[in-house]
Amino acid sequence: MWAAYLSPLILVVWIYVVRARKSHKYRQILEENTKAGLTEPASLHPVFDQRLCVGCNACAAACPEGTVIGVIKGKAKLINPTKCIGHGACKKACPFDAITLVFGTEKRGVDIPNVNDNFETNVPGIFIAGELGGMGLIRNAVEQGRQAIDNIARFVNKGKSKDSYDVIIVGAGPAGFAASLGAMEKKLRYKTIEQDSLGGTVFKFPRGKLVMTAPVKLPLVGKANFRETTKEDLLAFWQNVEKKTGVKISYREKMDNIIREDKQFKVITSKGEYRTRAILLAIGRRGTPRKLGVTGEDQPKVVYSLIDPEQYRNQHVLVVGGGDAALEAATSIADEPGTTVTLSYRSDAFSRAKEKNRQKVDQAAAAGRLNVMLSSNVKHISTDTVKIEHNGKEAEIPNQGVIICAGGILPTPFLKEIGIEVETKHGTA
């Protein structure tokens, strides 16, 4: 008799104890990240309405990145902000609509072009998809490119012209490549231009970088299943799709300007001029690489992205930056035989990088393969050395290669020049 009454009580107490322990653990993680300055999400991220949240843990369980969200005192919180990369699975999983996905924070604003649900900007006929619109996750960018071309097809069908393209797609990264396949599938008169190579920003990722962990749906191809796919495997897959489908992409062609002409546009590139009914901007947010502005930066040994770590074997290399690109470059070069690698960052913590990359840096530093210089600034780049100010002192170290991963100058001025509204988001949707 007593057992019948005590069993439910014991179960309730046990659940309470388990939740209390997890809450304590999540609070510790949040406190540690706050002390380390790891508080700024790099991309789209959730904000929780504490009035609606009941602490059901559905959002945390749905996150593909692991311990990013935790329930503390019955309310969900972002406990690992820098590990959040904008999947949006948490919002879909929340049964109480307590989550809003936003860009930027009170401290760090993010410039986002204003687009409607059809991916069209305030300039009729100009659409934006992928990284430029804030969607850096490859799977989401592919989906945006696919959906954007569906909307563009409906737009141009209202006023097709034999004297112009239906759509010009600028960029052959994840969004642009998916859109190009979609345009081909819908038999649109399209032209895709890409200033570099297939893959866009993905092509510039370090060798071996994991880039895909979930299936995607591509026009003309269907569902493509990916699990822990590297940059090389993904590019090889795209190249195979390009060959099999015959999709046309004009490489090494840079867009210089867009001029509005009545109900169409003139797109001026490094190779010619084209008229079109619609434009899809599927370019990256990096734009022009941000430079340090120091003497000697114009030397051939100074580059702004890492393609192949192997080229730096047996060399003294300096990597500058604190984001994922810098950390991935530094650790991958440090794995090469005979390299001596220094990682310089102006702040006192890698607050913009994913946890996995921070762990790799710690492991490489502990193993003596990487020299980490936080709170440091490059002062001068010579032919065989670099001068770095670190903790108030100036050090000169041997050097044969410099990789600057300081981000890029966003194309905001260009967007505004052609009439596209751009809003700086400080924690808003």
- The answer on 394 and 316 residing in a single domain is yes
Q: How many helices (H) and strands (E) does the chain have?
A: 9, 27
What pLDDT score was predicted for residue 185?
A: 94
Last residue of a domain, one of 102, 130, 160: 102
Give the pLDDT confidence score for residue 137 in this predicted structure: 72
SS3 call for 70:
strand
278 CA to centre of own chain: 26
Helices (H), 264-306: none
* pLDDT 10s digits, 334-389: 999 999 999 999 988 887 777 788 889 999 999 999 999 999 999 999 999 999 99
Is the same domain home to 400 and 418? no
Same domain, 209 and 269: yes
Higher per-residue confidence, 111 vs 265: 265
Lowest mean pLDDT among 1-5, 162-166, 294-298: 1-5
Separation in Å, CA 56 to CA 73, 330, 380: 12, 40, 54
The average pLDDT across 141-158 equals: 89
267 and 165 inside one domain: yes
Average pLDDT of the chain, as a whole number:
85
Q: Does one domain contain both 159 and 278?
A: yes
C-alpha distance from residue 64 to each of 69, 125, 214 (Å): 11, 35, 9
Q: What is the CATH number of the domain that holds 371?
A: 3.50.50.60
Model pLDDT for residues 187-202, shown as the tens digit of each residue = 999 999 998 888 777 7
Q: Identify whether residues 128 and 96 lie together within a single domain.
A: no
Model pTM score: 0.68
- Mean of pLDDT values over 265-285: 91
Residue 169 has pLDDT above 90, yes or no: yes
In whole angstroms, give the CA distance from residue 418 to residue 73: 49
- pLDDT for the residue numbered 16: 58
Domain closes at, from 76, 102, 128 = 102
Residues 201 and 334 in one domain: no
Whether the pLDDT of residue 66 is over 70: the answer is yes
Residues 96-123, mean pLDDT to the nearest whole number: 85
CB pairs under 8 A, 24+ apart, for 231-239? Answer: 231/199, 231/202, 231/203, 231/205, 231/206, 231/207, 232/207, 232/208, 234/138, 234/199, 234/202, 235/198, 235/199, 235/202, 235/203, 238/177, 238/198, 238/199, 239/198
Q: Is the pLDDT of residue 7 over 70?
A: no
Residue bearing the bigger pLDDT, 392 or 64: 392
Question: CA-to-CA distance for 318 and 326, rounded, in angstroms?
Answer: 10
Residue 269 has pLDDT above 80, yes or no: yes
141 shares its domain with 281: yes
Structurally, the chain folds into a number of domains equal to 3
Considering only CA atoms, which of 120, 132, 208 is closest in space to residue 173? 132
Domain that holds residue 350: 289-408
What is the pLDDT, as a whole number, of residue 130?
86
Share of residues in the chain with pLDDT > 90 (%): 40
How confident is the model at residue 152, as a pLDDT?
94
8 A C-beta contact, residue 183 and residue 190: yes
For 196-236, write each residue's pLDDT tens digit. Answer: 888 777 766 666 666 655 677 888 888 877 766 777 888 88
Same domain, 268 and 356: no
> CATH number of the domain that 70 lies in?
3.30.70.20
Same domain, 118 and 197: yes
81 has pLDDT over 90: no
Mark whether 277 and 326 lie in a shared domain. Answer: no
180 & 276 share domain: yes
